[in-house]
Structure 1
């Protein structure tokens, strides 16, 4: 017990000194932290390194905490020595000594990074201000990449070209300072790969910029040519004509000019994008793009097949609906069958599962035939009933017309016979030898008036040898008429 008391009495001064060191370390750490935070706010790091006050406070707090930790770390070896913890204080002392020897490099790297951030931020703000002044965002509207062509300020979800250009230049300006800071640190395991990577990025930046410009030019040309093709098609009235043929207005979503113009635009942008990949040296993307371009003819042919199937299906649907209004469901079934056949033909043309497509094609044809028969039987039943009823009514009307015509002919014949008989009776009753009288009409000759007073037909007592005006040689049918009478 006495030994313990003596040991405590001997160690008490060192313990008290260690506690005093710890209090001093904590106080010094808080003082350094306060100075760093106030200095960061005084230097307005929020305008140089952050976008708002919240970012500035976080940066200042981070720097203050880092200063607090470093300050306390400097006091820890002496504190542990006073407590008699040499096993902990010795490696910590070596680490602190190495760190203190490395402080100049850290300060140099930090100064380089700080200078790089400041310069990059200034360049970013200058470039953004310049691009906003020249209204570079209108270029995006002209290329058709803006959802609101009359809006100068970008929306929350959109990215303005001015902001994009400023951020790109920010990174480009900052990269050389990062490389220099890593070289100052001289940590080979970290700096060598990082410096090599950043050097490659720096070397490829001109090619990236050229590729970006090439893609922008491709988008601009694609937009211009696509709009030109669309305007030409609309100008010749092909879109309206196709819409009239299909009996589907543009409001349904199909516009031939818009579809073809969009295809042309995508193809032009694809060509420029592949060339941009080749310029950068990205062989993988360049190979993929070249394969897509080589496959384009088959893709275009498949698209034409689909487009033709869509137009044909719409035309057939319109024809069926106009011909058989009751068979609207059958018309819809036929349209979708034609679309399915066109899709299968397009897949077969692209070489996607040829055997599967052929089997599916046969199945679709059989199903379409059954569906069409059922649909036509259900939808055309009323039509067939109406047609048969109409045909029956027409036949009955035709029979009635024939009977009426026959009756009219018979009535006319009876009237003619009665008129002829009445005329003959009148002539016989009113005949005289002293006057010209009416002669009996023959079959081939109408009524003949003669001035002969001695007419044996009119006057049976007359002598035919006195003045035989009516003779068989004058009217060969005279005797026949008498015989018929």
Structure 2
């Protein structure tokens, strides 16, 4: 009986503590519900004010999660008191120590949040001011010169890009300070080390970007100058005429060479930018690019020369053999294939396989050319040799005709000379006889005719001047005749015959 009384008295003594714990629980639930509703309404209004321009309602799951977190925090704050009133100190002590740690971390958290809020506010302010200042400087005109004339609406301008870069540069030290304010070494130390590395990397990154910009402008300037030089010299048009084909691509040598030079210069500046970054992987990449550039240039030159040779060969075949389009295309493809194999071998792609294939291709082309020329070129060789033979026969006939004509002219000249000589001899004899008659009075008459004194020596008919030569051995000498008929005349008294004048009969 006494034991029962003692238990009943203890129970009655714990009733106020139980009632107080129940009251505390009710207050905790009421306050937690109020906090949850307050958080939900406040976040809804804040989200609506921020997203008013987008006309998007806030997400219910996000609002419910944040409001439930506030609800649980309030309940946890009342939980140790309720457990102490119920006499459950073994359960309340861990909860109390946990809450003490959480409550002790709250100031650090509040400080970090304040640092972030103030830093973000300053970063936004500086970003807006810098963007407005850069727009006033009209820095976006450089982007219009570099980019297309009609840029897309979502293209980021230079002023916006530089302002965003300044925003990031301000946020990095702010984030470092916020992490240090949390005083959580496990999280803050790696994060701070990473941010410090990024912050120290920014100057090298800016230098690399500046090198790339300079390289881009220089490559563009050199490429335009080289294009104008080649285009102005007419070399590009000559090459295009050699490879001209209505159904194929028209080769633009100036554009190809200028683009090759442009990309080579850009590759050199890119490698230099990698070296400025001082990153091992980029240094290895830059070294590999520099070592690979000569092979790429050699392969490009080989392909260009192969294309030129293939186009020239195809045009020559189509020009001289209009019905051999299939043979022209086979030749074109074979030369391009050989050039492609040579280019791949130069680059170093599977040289153990491509080098024998290249050698076999060259040997096959040589054999095919020999067979084609030997079998298919017989008619061509026959026509060529026949034409050469006919040409030589015509030349021989022309030479014979010219020789006969020259011989005939010599014979005619000799005959004209002989006629002129005979006429001169006859005229001389006639004059000598006439003088003898005049001097000898035994003939019974005197020459009283005026025609006797007006006689002139005859002129031969030949058109060439002929100089009489000494008479041959068988010809009669005029001096012997004069010895018989009269005195021997002197050499000065001999008539001088002009071979170029026409001959006239002597007048007595």
Name the SS of the counterpart of 1:154 in structure 2.
Answer: coil
Contact 2:28 2:74 in 1 (8 A): no
Aligned to 2:481: none
Matches within 5 A, 1:270-309: 270-309=267-306
Match of 1:322 among 319, 325, 328: 319
8 Å CA contact 1:33, 1:63 repeated in 2: yes
Equivalent residue number for residue 110 of structure 1? 113
For the pair shown, the structure with the greater C-alpha radius of gyration is 2
Q: How many Å separate the matches in 1 of 2:120 and 2:359?
A: 68
Deviations 1:84-125 (A, max 9, x none): 796776544432321111111111111111122222222223
- Cα distance in 2 for partners of 1:256, 1:328 equals 26
- Find out whether 1:35 has 2:42 as its counterpart: yes
Q: How far 1:358 moved relative to its partner?
A: 1.9
- Residues 230-255 of structure 1 show CA distances to partners (whole Å, capped at 9, x for unaligned) of 11111112211111111147993632
**Worse-superposed segment, 26-35 or 242-251:** 242-251
TM-aligned CA distance change 1:56 to 1:363, over 3 Å: farther
Does 2:260 match 1:257? no
Aligned length: 387
| Structure 2 CA distance for aligned equivalents of residues 293 and 255 of structure 1 | 27
> Over aligned residue pairs, what C-alpha RMSD do you find?
4.6
Per-residue deviation, residues 400-443 of structure 1 (Å, max 9, x unmatched) = xx9xxxxxxxxxxxxxxxxxxxxxxxxxxxxxxxxxxxxxxxxx
Identify the match of residue 139 of structure 1 among 124, 137, 142.
Answer: 142
Look up the match of 2:342: 345
**Aligned pairs for 1:16-55 within 5 A:** 18-38=25-45, 53=54
Note the C-alpha offset of 1:342.
1.1
CA distance 1:247–1:311, change in 2 (3 Å): same
Alignment of 1:75-94 (within 5 A): 75-76=75-76, 78-79=78-79, 82=82, 90-94=93-97
Q: What is residue 70 of structure 1 aligned with on the other side?
A: 70
Deviation at residue 67 of structure 1 after TM alignment? 5.8
CA contact (8 A) 2:317 2:324 kept: yes
The alpha carbon displacement at 1:55 in A equals 8.8
- Aligned pairs for 1:190-205 (under 5 A) are 190-205=187-202
In 2, the alpha carbon distance for the partners of 1:325 and 1:318 equals 10
The Cα shift of 1:291 comes to 3.1
Corresponding residue SS for 1:252: coil
Give 5+ residue unaligned stretches, structure 1: 403-443, 449-472, 475-485
Q: Report if the CA contact (8 A) 1:246-1:315 is conserved.
A: yes
Q: Structure 2 vs 1, CA of residues 178 and 236 (structure 1 numbering), >3 Å: closer, same or farther?
A: same
1:154 is aligned, of 152, 155, 163, to: 152
Among 209, 218, 239, which residue is 1:242 paired with? 239
Contact 1:243 1:249 in 2 (8 A): no
- CA deviation digits over 1:336-384, x for unaligned, max 9? 211111121122233333331122224444666798899999xx99x99
> What's the secondary structure of 1:325's corresponding residue?
coil
Partner residue in 2 for 1:179: 176
**Structure-2 residue corresponding to 1:354:** 351
1:313 Cα deviation from its structure 2 partner: 0.8
* Structure 2: segments with no counterpart, 5+ residues: 1-6, 395-414, 420-474, 477-508
Q: 1:142 to 1:241 in 2, by over 3 A?
A: farther
What's 2:208 paired with?
A: 211
